[in-house]
Structure formats: C-alpha cells, structure tokens
Structure 1
Amino acid sequence: MRLAIAASLCVLLLSLPASHAEPDKRDFSPAERLLFMTPQLKGLQAPMLLRYTFGKTGSFEESFADSVTVSLSAKEDGRCCDAKGVFLSGARKLQVPDVPAADGNPVILYFLEHDVREMKRLTRGSEYHFRKRIRMGIYQAAEVRDVSLRYQGRAIKGKEIVFSPFLDDPNRPKYEKFATKSYRFTLSDAVPGGVYGIRTSIPGESAAAQPLVVEELLIEGAKAPAR
C-alpha cells in the first residue's frame, strides 16, 4: 500500500501538461516552481514537528476538524530533512509515504493526494484524470499574487496561487456539481515549512447558497517533537 501511494504521489508531481514536453525541455510555470521546485525545508533545524489544522465544512456532507503533522528528522549528514507525515486520523487517515532527503514540504503532495481521492469518491471519476487536470491547471491557468498574512500575531508576506482546473474540462458534464471547484495555495518563507495554508472550495448552486464543500489546511506552528 505504501509503495502504491508513493507511486501515485510521483505521478502527480511529474505528470506533464498537454504539451507533453520533457521536463528538461520546457519552461515550468511560476506556480509549479513555487509549489514543487522550492526548497521549503531548507534551513530548518531538525528534529522538528510541523503542525497543521484541517477542517471540512459545507452543506454536502458532515463537517469535521482534524490535524496534519509532518515530522522532520536530520539526514545522515546532519542536515534537514527526512520527512514523515500523518494526514488526518481514525477512519479518515490517509497513509502517506515517508520522504527521505526532502527539500520541498510534502504536505502539499499529501493534501493533493487526499483531494484526488475525495474527487474520485464524490464523482466516481478517475484519479488519473483528476491528477492530470490539477497539474494542467497549475501549469496553464494558475494566478500568482502577493498577499499579506497574519501568523502568530504578526504580519507576514506571502504568495497565493489560485486556479480552477475543472472549468474547461471536456468531461465536466460527468460531475457538473463539482466542476467549479477552486484551489488556493498560500505560501510564505516566514512560516516553518513554507506552507501557510491550502484551501479548496466548491460553491453552492446559487450565489446565496452555502458552499457545498470547503476543505482547509492551515499552519498551526512548529515545535521539537516529544521524546
């Protein structure tokens, strides 16, 4: 099971946009570089535990609150980091692979793997198709903008990446209720691990209606893990 999950994460990270260009023969978008090619863990002192809150709300299903952690330990050379994640708990828990010698924060890929599985569960569609649409959205249509944020009582600066990968999907009629789903990634060098938050939202059927589903991961903080 763990090998299968690791393989699916690699598919999400490495799948190419519609041009099918080789990775070393095409330009990566600014959003791709920020999400997948930035050494977000660089400079952290291991051991460290990155802690995130996770919440689900909306009219479509029962709401819940949970947590996500990424445990960082020193590599053999003493530098940061080998990463081990825990994504949600109990029946909702997603088994995620350890990431040795991690540069980027794996919580991004863990969230996306969870998201793809949720899209499959809600629509009975193909995980491969949803992965491809998300990666195409990041490559082709994501907007990147500067934002001001608050973290532990102080103002910080960050980048926000926003896209809606299913709006122009030819398969949209198969899951029309969920096709307006939007994704928002908020990154900042001022928070440990570089990921301030990730949010997905599926609006209701009218402007006045409550959203169908909102899922949001937010940085809570970082600390040395309990011994």
Structure 2
Amino acid sequence: MRLFVLLLVMLGFAGAASAAGTYDLLFHKGSLSGLDAPPPAGVGKQPPDTLLYDRVLSAGKKGEAPDSDNIGLQLTGDDNVALILRQGPRMRSLGNFPASVGNPLIMYFLESTLSDIAAQSGGSPFYIRNRIKEALLKDAEIVPVSVQLGDRDIAAQRVTLHPLEKDKARARMGRFAELALSVVVSEEVPGWLYSLEATVPEGQGAEDAGYRNVITLTDKGEAKP
C-alpha cells in the first residue's frame, strides 16, 4: 500500500509539471546515472546501499529530542531503485522505483513533510500538497553554496521554496505558513541531492513546537573525480 500511494503521489506531482526551472532542479532527470548497482549480496543477505543518507526529524513536543535514523538508496541490476528506512535495528521499505525517474528521495521528502505538517497543524494534506505543487512551478530562491563531501569542497545550489508564503489561507495556517523547503543540489554530488530540509518555526505556546526534517548525504557518497 505504501508503494502504491507513493507512486500515485509521484505521478500527481509529475503530471502537474511544466518546464519550470525549479521543478527541473529538484526532480533532476538522470540524477542516478553513473552510479553502479552493487554486486548481489547473496541469499538471505540485505543488498548494500548505493547511497546512504542521515535523517534528523523534530516533530514532537517542545523540548523533545529529535529522532535520528538513516535512509538507504539501493540500485539493483534490473534498473530499479529502492529506499529503505532504518531506525536502529528496524527496517522498513519506503518503495521501489524505476531508476530512470531520477532520485526518488525528493518525493519521499516532500510527501513525508506534508504528511507531518498536516498532522501537526490539523490542516488538509491535499491542500498543502497543492500549494507545494504550485511552488514547484514558480521561481524559487536559488543561491550558490559550497558543501563538503568527503575531503572535497563542492560547488552546489540551494533551492528554497515557501509554498504558503502568499497563500490566501495563510492567516488560518498560523506559523505553519512559514514552512520553508530547502534542497541543496549539485552535479558533483552522487545522486544529485546533497541535503533536503523542511522547517517551521516554533510558536509562543507550550504546545507550539517547531518542525524540522533534515536529510543529508553521508560521506559514504563520495564526489565524482
């Protein structure tokens, strides 16, 4: 069911897309090209990760420690890619995708963020999804940055969206209208996506916790020479 939902959402986002530069930067075609699928792990063994990402999620009450886990991206020999969420000893599949669509981590990031924001704010996930779709088709804030991967400094771009910044229902969203989505991308980063971050500031009330969802490529993904 989770795979089915993710694929439907992916088609929904892609179907709304045009030639907008913002969309093309985030959903970069061919972002997994040049990466080789690892050799088979053997019977009963888990395939090794092609790329590994750390995730830190703060979506609880004020003062609670954030959750930390990992997301493995695994290329297979049949031109498919799997995303695996690892939380300590537990593992959960986030879906399988054709490698030709690019790095599916961007879709997981957007979908999990809007689900979290909808749950925390009490808003409609469909409404928030539509605002993100619209933001993907508009000009975004794009600035050059330098990131470190392994022992190299790499030139990259940070793309930042504020999907609810000018929304007509902004007042009803309160502090969640300040939702910011920031993605750092580079041709020199394997898999194209270096980091993905979603933030909402905390409020004044005791229950008005902030929100932060950060996914970052680990040093296991070495820069291309």
- Closer, same or farther in 2 for the Cα pair 1:112/1:151, shift >3 Å? same
- Closer, same or farther in 2 for the Cα pair 1:124/1:9, shift >3 Å? farther
> Residues 58-117 of structure 1, C-alpha deviation per residue, up to 9 Å, x if partnerless?
784531111111111123xxxxx3100113538x98753210243410111111111111
- Unaligned runs of at least 5 residues, structure 2: 39-48
- Partner residue in 2 for 1:20: none
Say whether the 8 Å CA contact 1:31–1:143 is kept in structure 2. Answer: no
TM-score by length of 1: 0.79
Say whether the 8 Å CA contact 2:196–2:216 is kept in structure 1. Answer: yes
Letter in 1 for 2:30: P
TM-score by length of 2: 0.80
Question: What are the within-5 Å matches in structure 2 for residues 1-227 of structure 1?
Answer: 1=1, 2-16=3-17, 23=18, 28-47=19-38, 49-57=50-58, 60-61=61-62, 62=64, 63-75=66-78, 81-87=79-85, 89=87, 96-205=94-203, 212-222=210-220
For the aligned residues, what is the CA RMSD? 2.6
Corresponding residue SS for 1:96:
strand
Say whether the 8 Å CA contact 1:192–1:222 is kept in structure 2. Answer: no
- For residues 107 and 69 of structure 1, what CA distance do their matches in structure 2 show? 10
Instruction: Report the more deviating stretch, 136-145 or 66-75.
Output: 136-145
- For residues 114 and 146 of structure 2, what CA distance do their matches in structure 1 show? 29
Cα shift at 1:54: 0.3
Say whether the 8 Å CA contact 2:175–2:201 is kept in structure 1. Answer: no
**Equivalences, count:** 204
- For residues 67 and 83 of structure 2, what CA distance do their matches in structure 1 show? 20
Say whether the 8 Å CA contact 2:114–2:125 is kept in structure 1. Answer: yes
Corresponding residue SS for 1:74:
coil
